[in-house]
Amino acid sequence: MARRNTHTGRLAAVAVLAVSALAAAGLGANAAHAGHETFAAVSSLDSSTSANWAGYVVTQPSTTYTSVTATWKEPKVACGSDNAGESSAFWVGLGGSSQTSQALEQVGTSADCDSTTGKPYYYAWYELVPANSVTTKLVVHPGDTITTSVNVLDGTTIELQVKNRTRHTSFTTKLPYATPDLTSAEWIAEAPSACDSFRCRQIPLSNFGSVSFTKIAAIGNAVGGTLTANPGWTSTAISLVPDGNGRGYLPGPDQFSSRATSTAGATPGAASADGRSFAVQYTATAG
């Protein structure tokens, strides 16, 4: 493996910065490693663009977020010989609100097109950065109703859970984590990059059509909230626009990335009045 598999992200005050990854098996035998990386400038106080994130993030100074959850139907990704190697991921997470943070806790699903055959591949995963991404054995098919959650149990123990409500199966793990980042909560559809020890190359986003995040909720400072109904949280909408200028970020010593190789992106719709749902739409050409 050239570089550890990761699903990570960062949202800074003036930029969104992220690095994430998929299981190499989902991209076929030709892929040793895949990941996600991004750089994007915030265009206003309540909206942003990212090279690989589309969705919403909530933050608030002096707020510690200890729980995040959402439900979605796994999208049916459009795959074929012309789409080999494309991929996408859908997740909820805690952390990543600081540009200097080295931690993020996240769990979700992915919908990839195998890099050799172009056939669709679906799976669930979790990650506690800086540890490697872990692919679970939970069976995921398009159309399945998926609920994921990240919960901080005692400050240094993280519970990550994926429920396949269609198949009545679930995966739960509780892991020690001494230094979690709890400065934000997020609901994200993400595009990947292929990473080695020196750089990340943007992988084309697989055409997932549309995905709706529902039953959104988070807890900050022991108070529950949503994207709009919360105790003063700032909700930021993020649109995925591939970054062709070559800028990017990798945590640790490998702080170099290469430019995007795809025009595909994604755009979040407006949040519902109660802040409990929104949809992300794939677009073949973003900008």
pLDDT tens for residues 202-261? Answer: 778 999 999 999 999 999 999 999 999 888 899 999 999 887 543 333 333 333 344 456
**170: number of Cβ within 10 Å:** 14
List the beta strands (DSSP E) in 196-273.
200-202, 210-220, 223-225, 234-240, 265-268
Q: Is the pLDDT of residue 157 over 90?
A: yes
Per-residue pLDDT at 174: 97
> Which band of pLDDT confidence, cut at 50, 70 and 90, is reported for residue 9?
very low
- Cα(45)–Cα(237) distance, rounded to whole angstroms? 10
Per-residue pLDDT at 19: 33
Pairing of strands 47-50, 234-240: parallel
**Tens of pLDDT, residues 93-138:** 999 766 677 788 999 999 999 988 889 999 999 989 878 789 999 9
Q: What's the burial of 137, exposed, middle or buried (CB within 10 Å: 0-12/13-18/19+)?
A: exposed
Which token pair is 181?
A: 């980042």
Strand partners, 95: 104
Strand partners, 44: 47
Share of the chain above pLDDT 70, in %: 72
pTM for the predicted model, two decimal places: 0.83
* Backbone angles phi and psi of 83, in degrees to 5: -115, 10
Cα–Cα distances in angstroms (integers) from residue 194 to residues 1, 6, 115, 152, 256, in the given order: 12, 11, 12, 30, 13
Q: Which residue has the tokens 């459009």?
A: 78
Residues 6+ apart with CB under 8 A from 133: 4, 5, 6, 7, 20, 21, 22, 23, 125, 126, 127
